[in-house]
Every structure is written in structure tokens, then in C-alpha cells.
Amino acid sequence: MFLKPVALLLVICESLADIPPLYRSRPYDLGAFDRWPHQLYHSSNAIGPILNIHDKSALCYNESTYTVVPYWGKQVNIPGVMLLDTKGYLVWHTTGYVTADIQSFQGEDYVVSLSEDSTYYALINSRYEEAYQIRSGNGWQLDAHELTLTPSGTALLVINGVFPVNQTAFEAPPEVEFIFDAGFQEIEVQTGEVLFEWRASDHYRFEEYYHFQPGDGKTEKTAPDLFHVNSIEKDDLGNYLISCRMMSSVVYVDGQTGAVIWKLGGKANMFKDLSGGAATDFNGQHHARFHENGRIVSIFDNGNCPGRPVTGPTRGLTVVLDTEKMTVQLQHEYISPNSVLTENSGSMQILDSGNVILGFGPNANWAEYASNGSLLCNVHIGPETFFNSGEIRTYRISKSPWIGHPQTVPEIAVDDGRVYVSWNGATEVATWSLDGTDIEGGGGASTFLGKFPKDGFETEISVPTNQTGRYFFVSALNRAGQVLGSTSTVHWPRPRQGIVYQGP
């Protein structure tokens, strides 16, 4: 609430239309808010989350960063992506994509998302337009796990496909006639040219696989998923760091030849673990990343993988490498809240602040930790009762700065004497300005009636009893008071509990 004199009229009624995040709601986690808790809006066809916050800390809040939440599941008709502000309110929603994170390409930030049909990755610019589409080449199938943009203007993407076994190149049991191979390609973004290609079967032995079952590989449909590449990164030396989930192995390969430089974890681990196994016993891992010029590796350790005993709970970890002495040591560990086990997928991100974000995939949950491993914030986007059930899930959760300039205009709706306004994707709106006018469609003289602070995706405005003009519209203002965009004009609704102050 606030008091703002405007000529002879003052409006002081403002309330939020959004359902705010809940706090440690037991009914929520039992499914009382549905198996996929979400909300709809009056003024927009966007879909927003209903969150249940279990742990919170001021150390998680940063108004310049947004949480990227791609989602899908049994309860979701159309997969989509949400950007949430630091308070957990929706900022942008779109459908038709199943993964998302924010990356930079040639000095501009993009939302990088996989299309729903998994045929291409889209680079979505700040105007929410698909600026680029990136596809795999050389007959390989595009994989859903990752696309990473490099500083040199290329894209790294995971590839896979079923291939007949060449026993000369890859020695497998005689009964295995087909394998599900995997690898990655480096692609020139603007032309689609394949610059480099690496396939795991050239650099791993069949014996390193954990989950061979009798009958696997007899047909194309039963081809074993031997490698399951799920992350790639290129370092400043031009070499690549690759995570192979089904081998429980992270491999570092030469950027010129593709030859293995070292393997960390798995049956062919090349490092002495100075932590008694805690740095190398990761199991079915995801999202391996270098830090500090390759001295540190971060890994999302699922704690389980087909063919191996469960070693969970799920954790994030950072390990310190000494590639001269070939030793590795656990640096930090980030244990999942309530010791949940993440059956597949998941993510780990180290923020510039040093905080660490873990996303728990089929457990509709993410958490933020201090660098020393202490839990700061824990957020559920779905009921805990249905974790690992596939009702609602994510792949990776990340936080990044973002500035959105949608090419649409703000949307407005009137319902039961109330006005609702929103602008899907706009990040710089600070307040809404209400104006009356006699001109349908706007563009002429108008009378300023009041300002209403934006706090959430959709702001609800009381209609003043002293109306000016035949129509009204609402404008979005930034913090400097500049108009960013305006809604269409609409007829005044019949007021409902409008509060008006008459000036002197």
C-alpha cells in the first residue's frame, strides 16, 4: 500500500494477483495443490509455478539473476520453460522446449533450449525470438543432454545413434551386434558446419560398461546404451571434458586428435584418490565442469546408475586434480536435502558468489548451498510425495543474469471490477501507470490516475470510483520512470471497492 497524490485523484489500493510461494507446506508436499502445482493468470495465457520453500536465506537472493526452470512430465501437456525472479515469481513462460539455460554468444545472452521434438537447439535472444537453430550433422541423432556455446563462436552438442558393432574397432561379446553409441560434435553456429567429432566407442572398452544384460545388442532395439554422454566443455587449451554416465566416468580428451588424456572415475580411473574413494566413486554422474583453469572439477553425482549398487544420496562435489602426480582429492560436498536419490538427470552450477545450485531432475526440487556445503535454500516445484515419479520434473536448474525486451505489448484483463496487468518476459518493469482517455486505441491526451508497484508476474489494480475518460490503459515504467510499453485501451469496468483520495 502507498499514498501518491495525483492532481485531484489518488488511488491507494494495490494487491498482487499471483499466488506467492508457500513455506514448508505439508499439504503441498502431500499433493493437495495437485501433482503439478501451477497457476494461471487473468491477463496472460502464461503458466506459473506454485513453489514450496523449505529453507530460505538472504544469501540466495539477487535481483539481477533469474532462475531458469525447464519442465515436463506426466502431468504436463506441453513442456515449457519458466524464468523466475529472485522471490520465486514468474517473469517469462514459453512452451515447446524441454531444456534451457542462459549462455553468451558473440557478446549477447541467449536462452539455449532444446525443441520439444528434439530436432534442434534454439538460441532465443532477449526479444524472445529464435535467432539461431543448431542441428547435429553427419547423420548423427541430436541428443537432449546438452548444447554448450564456446567463446570462439561454436557450439558443442551431444550426439547418439545405434550402430552395428565393428569388432575390429570395438571389441564386444560376440552376441552383441548393435550398440547405442554416443559422442559430441563441435558445430559452427552460423553455418552448421561440423568442425570436430568424437565418439565414445573409439576411446572406451566394452568392459568399462556396468550394465550389460544377456540378450542386449541382438537387435537395434536392444542395443545397449554403453556411454550416455551427458555433458561437454571445451577449455582454454582447446581440449574437452566429457561426462559418460553409464561408465561412471569423466574423460578429458585432446582437442586435435580426440585421444584420451585422462579418465576420472569408473573402471578405468587413472587417478589416485587421496580421499579414500570419495573423489572418484561418483555413480551415474552428470554435468562435469572445470574451474580455476582446470584445477577443480565439479560433478553432479546421482549416486545411482543401472548395473551398479546405489551409492547415494545424491550429492554435488568439487574435486582437486593434480595432473602431474595424477592424484585427486575431494574439496567440497553438497548433499541433497532429505538425502534424496536422483534416479537420472540433474545439474550443478557454481555461481560467481561461490554459492552452488543443485537441480534434482525427477525430484521436482532445487537447492542452493554456501561454498562450504551448508544448505541455504531449498525449493520444491512439485510435491515431495511424487519425487522420482515423473509427474513433474526438470533437467537442469540454473541461475543467470538476464534482460528481456519482449516484442509484444503488456497485457490487460478486467474481471469483476478489477484490472489485471502483466507483460510476459519483461524484466525492467518497476511500476504500472494507470491513465484515463477518451480516445479508443490511445495515442492522444490522457489523464494520469496513479502508479502501482510491480511485484510478481501479474499485478491487480483497484478501479477508482472517480473515473476520467471513457477508456483507460496501463503503461509499464522502468525505475527511471520511462515508459517501456502500454496496454491496449479498454472500457472502464464497474468499480469494486475502489479507494479514492480527494486532494485539496
Alpha-carbon distance values, 36 to 324, 336, 343, 405 (Å): 50, 21, 19, 29
Residue 333's DSSP bridge partners are 317
Residue 229, amino acid: V
User: How, if at all, do strands 365-369 and 375-380 pair?
Assistant: antiparallel
Q: Which helix (H) or strand (E) holds 28?
A: helix 26-29
Backbone torsions φ then ψ of 68, nearest 5 degrees: -95, 120
For the chain, how are helix, strand and coil distributed in percent, rounded to 5? 5, 45, 50
Q: What is the distance between the alpha carbons of residues 339 and 314, in angstroms, rounded to a whole number?
A: 7
**Region of 88 on the Ramachandran plot (φ > 0 left; ψ -120 to 50 alpha; else beta):** left
Query: How many CB atoms within 10 Å of residue 2?
Result: 12
Residue 179's DSSP bridge partners are 163
Q: What is the pLDDT of residues 170-195, one digit of tens each?
A: 999 999 999 999 999 999 999 999 99
Confidence check: pLDDT of 28 > 80: yes
Confidence check: pLDDT of 116 > 70: yes
Cβ pair 162, 177 in contact under 8 A:
no
Cβ pair 314, 287 in contact under 8 A:
no
User: Of all residues in the chain, what percent carry a pLDDT higher than 90?
Assistant: 87
Q: What is the distance between the alpha carbons of residues 381 and 309, in angstroms, rounded to a whole number?
A: 29
Task: Classify residue 188 as exposed, middle or buried by CB count within 10 Å of its CB (0-12, 13-18, 19+).
Answer: middle
For every residue of 471-501, DSSP letters joined together read EEEEEEE-TT--EEEEPPPEEPPPPSS--EE
Confidence (pLDDT) at 499: 35
Confidence check: pLDDT of 150 > 50: yes
Q: What is the distance between the alpha carbons of residues 421 and 432, in angstroms, rounded to a whole number?
A: 8
Alpha-carbon distance values, 423 to 213, 288, 344 (Å): 53, 36, 35
User: Of all residues in the chain, what percent carry a pLDDT higher than 70?
Assistant: 94
Residue 485's DSSP bridge partners are 476
| C-alpha angle 326-328-333 in degrees, rounded to nearest 5 | 170
Give buried/exposed letters for 135-160 (b at 16+ CB in 10 A, else e): ebbeebebbbbbbbbbeeebbbbbbb
Cβ pair 465, 495 in contact under 8 A:
yes
Confidence (pLDDT) at 327: 98
Cβ pair 258, 242 in contact under 8 A:
no
Cβ pair 123, 138 in contact under 8 A:
no
What nine digits make up the cell of 418? 478489477
Q: What is the pLDDT of residues 256-295, one digit of tens each?
A: 999 999 999 999 999 999 999 999 999 999 999 999 999 9
Q: What is the pLDDT of residues 196-218, one digit of tens each?
A: 999 999 999 999 999 988 889 99
Q: What is the distance between the alpha carbons of residues 120 and 131, in angstroms, rounded to a whole number?
A: 13
Torsion of CA 220, 224, 225, 227, to 10 degrees: -120
Confidence (pLDDT) at 10: 31
Alpha-carbon distance values, 155 to 16, 105, 142, 405 (Å): 41, 9, 13, 25
Confidence (pLDDT) at 496: 53
Q: What is the pLDDT of residues 238-262, one digit of tens each?
A: 999 999 999 999 999 999 999 999 9
Q: What are the chain's domains?
A: 23-401 (2.130.10.10), 411-491 (2.60.40.10)
Q: Is 82 helix (H, G, I), strand (E, B) or coil?
A: strand
Q: What is the distance between the alpha carbons of residues 112 and 153, in angstroms, rounded to a whole number?
A: 14
Confidence check: pLDDT of 497 > 70: no
Nearest to 210 by CA among 182, 171, 176, 249: 249
Confidence check: pLDDT of 504 > 60: no
Task: Classify residue 495 as exposed, middle or buried by CB count within 10 Å of its CB (0-12, 13-18, 19+).
Answer: middle
Residue 235, amino acid: D
**Average of per-residue pLDDT across 116-121:** 96
Terminal C-alpha separation, the chain: 21
Mean residue pLDDT across the chain:
92
Cβ pair 159, 183 in contact under 8 A:
yes
What nine digits make up the cell of 426? 519483461
Q: What is the distance between the alpha carbons of residues 345 and 260, in angstroms, rounded to a whole number?
A: 25
